[in-house]
Amino acid sequence: MSTQRGHGATLAEKILARSSGLDEVEPGQIIEGKVDLAMMHEQGAQTVGPFHEMGATEVWDPERVVIAIDHWVPASTEGAAVLHRILRKFAAEQNLPHFYDVGNHGICHQILAENGWVVPGDLAVGTDSHTNMLGAMGAVAAGIGPTEMAAVLALGRLWLKVPPTIRINVKGTLGPGVVAKDLVLRVLGEVKTTGATYKSVEYGGPAVAGLSMPERFTICNMTTEMGAKCGMVAPDQTTYEYLAKIAKHPMHPLQPDGDAAYERTVDIDLTDMEPMVACPYSPDNVRPLPDVVREHIKVDQAFLGSCTNARIEDLREGAALMRGHKVHAGVRFIVSPASTAIYQQALQEGLLELFTDAGAVFTNSSCSACFGGNMGIIAPDEVCASSSNRNFPGRMGPKEGRIYLMSPAAVAASAIKGEIADPREVAA
Amino acid sequence: MQDVIEGRVWVLGADVDTDGIIGGKYLTIIDPNELKKHVFEIALPEFAKGALPGDIIVAGENFGCGSSREHAPQALRAIGVGAVVADSFARIFFRNSINLGLPTVEASGVRAIFEKGDTARIAMRAGTITNVRTGASVRFPPLPHHLLELLEVGGLVPKVRQELEARARGASA
Ligand code: SF4
């Protein structure tokens, strides 16, 4: 097909055309998109006020609204308890059946992923900035503010400016001990934290075709750190197999045109790529891990968790290194699975025992230490090796705290060695 | 929103993040009139006491970066800011501001032509910002029709209210 520009359409353009009922759209155009899935976490409590001020009386489609609390679970402060209660009351009044409350909880993005709430071709929105992760389903998934979420709940649609697309073509294969997290850190090092502001990031190429769904979640998750409105991978057999038993709605898979008009194309070759690490105080301050290892940076805390990297595959990756080792004296190693289902899986596989025997603390599933507001807060000048996605000043509490972002295996290696370490140098 | 917005200018640098606009410790405050007392506590401490209704913020690149908190534009609106102008904005701040009915204008090069206390005149539809004192001006691509309309009615809350009322009238007619 051709568009007005005489070029093909990107995946984001195809999906936004579908959701707005238009034949084609172009970057910069403002459209009214029909929302397929709306997700709220604690910040969703702020949508209740504007929802009523709008004079809305009922949610447009209770079957397409998911509430998942995750930042403070169970509530650790009175303020958090009040937010939770506002959401519970709203869900009860509006008969919203899909509330993932304490006991059935998890990080909101993981809840959407593992329960098949977002499917190929969808337009999904959430009150959290890392909603981008769900673009791995071949969808446009974006973070929005609470007032616009109120409008979405009232009308089932929202205005969007069609973003231009940056295409990231990846080829080559990941070497031993090098994983999808290293790939996305490498991309961040090139695109930088404002390089994709207002834009869509579309990953493709032979290496991306070979990535599993959990790996695709990781690379789409951190498009938020590039400033992107959304990040995605076109759906393929891997996507369909992942969703086969769990998809909540019918899929409408779309593909980018072969001659799509990309604003910019970035080529990445994984051949001989080292593990990567993002140093304080920005996710784009990326260096090859071996260079940082040589500086012998002592670690006070290690964190294996967050929506970026706390799926069962990530826990197994960390556990493979821990086997036969102990957490280094003086290091607090926090392991927090991304959902209750993952917690149970880890329990069955003996990973709880393995981590706790080694001297780690295995917590309830939540955002945990990722955002410095609940637990796992560090002291000023302390260092944390983390599998999460942000290392800005103050992210884990004090503005002086130093966070190094890396793969789950590198976090486990650092917990064992007591300093930033290369997983390839820890004998499994 | 008027088509021409005029006001006294406060200037800020680049990369002012949402923490600099409203600190994380105030996020449990729900009343915007409480919130406004703490606006720019870190980035521009004299602002909260000295601001007058209709004042205009002129900032550098990437204004409003960081978290998705809507408290930041809420606090600016509550204190009576007439418009926020910057060389560029972070995505969610821009959306949140427009949705709250706070005129938000991205005009590359604008920071360089203003000093604190100048008067700015913004022609929203024509797409120009002028420094009334010096006569210097920069052009910007006017907001799309849809967003100008949103600002005119006062943001997303009144807009959706109108739409729901019209729908209810249609249903009962
Ligand atoms: S794990 Fe961290 S980044 Fe992910 S939703 Fe929670 S706080 Fe945000």
Pairwise CA distance, residues A409 & A314, whole Å: 8
Task: Give per-residue pLDDT as tens, A251-302.
Answer: 999 999 999 999 999 999 999 999 999 999 999 999 999 999 999 999 999 9
Q: Chain A closest CA to B159's CA: distance in Å?
A: 8
Residues of A with CB under 8 A from a CB of B: 30, 43, 46, 49-50, 53-56, 79, 127-129, 143-148, 150-151, 154-155, 159, 161, 194, 197-198, 227, 229, 373, 392, 394
Show residues of chain A in contact with B90, CB under 8 Å. Answer: 197, 227
The answer, yes or no, to whether residue A2 has pLDDT greater than 60, is no
Contact A275/A317 with Cβ under 8 angstroms?
A: no
- Dmax over Cα atoms in chain A, in whole Å? 63
Pairwise CA distance, residues A214 & A157, whole Å: 29
Q: Mean of the per-residue pLDDT values for chain B?
A: 91
pLDDT computed for residue A253 by the predictor: 98
Q: How far is CA A62 from the centre of its chain?
A: 24
Write the residue in B61, B88, B160 that is nearest to A151 by C-beta.
Answer: B160
Extents of the domains making up chain B: 4-172
Chain-chain contact of A54 with B161 (C-beta, under 8 angstroms): yes
Q: Which residue in A has a C-alpha nearest to residue B66's C-alpha?
A: A392
pLDDT computed for residue A397 by the predictor: 86
Architecture of the domain spanning B4-172 = Alpha-Beta Barrel (3.20)
pLDDT computed for residue A290 by the predictor: 98
The answer, yes or no, to whether residue B25 has pLDDT greater than 70, is no
Task: Give per-residue pLDDT as tens, A16-28.
Answer: 999 999 999 999 8
Q: Rounded mean pLDDT of A227-241? A: 97
Show residues of chain A in contact with B164, CB under 8 Å. Answer: 54-56, 154
Q: Rounded mean pLDDT of A361-371? A: 96
pTM value is 0.92
Domains of chain A, first to last: 11-267 (3.30.499.10), 276-422 (3.30.499.10)
Could you tell me the two tokens for B169? Answer: 């009238």
pLDDT above 70 as % of chain B: 94
What stretches of A172-252 adopt beta strand conformation (E)? 200-204, 230-233
Task: Return the percent helix, strand and coil in chain A, to nearest 5.
Answer: 35, 20, 45
The answer, yes or no, to whether residue B24 has pLDDT greater than 80, is no
Q: Rounded mean pLDDT of A136-165? A: 96
Q: How confident is the model at residue A245 (pLDDT cuts 50, 70, 90)?
A: very high
Pairwise CA distance, residues B96 & A403, whole Å: 29
Task: Give per-residue pLDDT as tens, A111-139.
Answer: 999 999 999 999 999 999 999 999 999 99
The answer, yes or no, to whether residue B1 has pLDDT greater than 80, is no
Task: Give per-residue pLDDT as tens, A316-334.
Answer: 999 999 999 999 999 999 9
Q: Rounded mean pLDDT of A200-218? A: 98
The reply to whether omega before A281 is within 30° of 0 (cis) is yes
pLDDT computed for residue A6 by the predictor: 44
Nearest CA to ligand 1 atom 2: A370
- Dmax over Cα atoms in chain B, in whole Å? 57
pLDDT above 70 as % of chain A: 98
Q: How confident is the model at residue A398 (pLDDT cuts 50, 70, 90)?
A: confident
Question: Predicted ipTM?
Answer: 0.88
Beta bridge partners of A159: A32
For the CA of A224, the nearest atom of ligand 1: 3
The answer, yes or no, to whether residue A346 has pLDDT greater than 50, is yes
Distance (Å) of CA A214 to CA A106, A131, A217, A404, A412: 16, 15, 5, 22, 19
The answer, yes or no, to whether residue A372 has pLDDT greater than 70, is yes
The answer, yes or no, to whether residue A311 has pLDDT greater than 70, is yes
Ligand 1 binding pocket includes A96 (Cβ within 6 Å):
no
What number of other Cβ atoms are within 10 A of residue A250's Cβ?
8
- Cα A373 to middle of ligand 1, angstroms: 11
Q: N- to C-terminal Cα distance for chain A?
A: 52
Q: Chain A closest CA to B96's CA: distance in Å?
A: 6
Beta bridge partners of A66: A39
